[in-house]
Amino acid sequence: MKWLTLVIKYRLWLGIVLLALAIFTNVQASFWPSFVLYLAAVILIVGHFIFGPMRLIQEFMETGDMEGAKKVLASVWFPGLLIKPIRSVYYTVKGNLDMVDQNYEGAEKNLKKSQELMGDGGILGGQMKQAEGANKLQLGMLAMQKGNIKQAESYIRGAIRSGLPDKENEAAAYLQLSSIMINKREFRAGKEYFRKAKGLKPTTPQIADQIKQMEKYITRMPG
């Protein structure tokens, strides 16, 4: 689908070219011969502002090219014009990139904006629930870093209720809850959440290592 990628990347300029051709045709002939050009130009230009280039970000994120993803985000001049589902994705990606840059304040701000849009029906169906869950998990981890354990627990429980996109995220959520419960000296609950995390058999090195480290001492806890 390279042609679609090219259209999305250059549709604003393509729309402007078609608009110029439409005006020229209108002047040289009449309105009706230029109608199709006008229509195509409007679709391309309006599409650029309400849908944006967010589809282009996926490839950069999958390959770990954060600079490429940032350039795509920077090409969104007026995020407020994006339709709600796309705007929600925009702020989620922006928040993720802030976390990569360790800009935790910016990450929290953007993830909360995305969360608000989801609450307004920004994404529909199961996709909305999974995206909302992943968002809440990230907000929970940010709250943990800030030492706000109560808020972290609330976000992470909300993430599990909403549903998470894969077992790696689920395992991360249960590990965080296990740590919170152990810090609250609720050892029985801490062990139960640990068992759930381990039972998911995550393969992400960081999560798998956390499970190995916790396993060394969690069995010696009361409860």
Provide the CATH number for the domain around residue 141: 1.25.40.10
Place 156 in a pLDDT band, splitting at 50, 70 and 90.
very high
Number of domains in the chain: 1
pLDDT score recorded for residue 123: 45
Is 87 a domain residue? no
Is 119 a domain residue? no
pTM: 0.78
Is 183 a domain residue? yes
Q: What is the arithmetic mean of pLDDT over 53-62? A: 82
CA angle 74-75-79, nearest 5°? 80
Has residue 187 got a pLDDT over 50? yes
Place 90 in a pLDDT band, splitting at 50, 70 and 90.
very high
pLDDT score recorded for residue 124: 45
Strand runs labelled E in the chain? none
Q: Treating both helix axes as pointing N-terminal to C-terminal, what angle do 205-218 and 167-183 enclose, rounded to 10 degrees? A: 30
Place 139 in a pLDDT band, splitting at 50, 70 and 90.
very high
Is 37 a domain residue? no
Whole domain around residue 193: which residue ranges?
Answer: 128-223
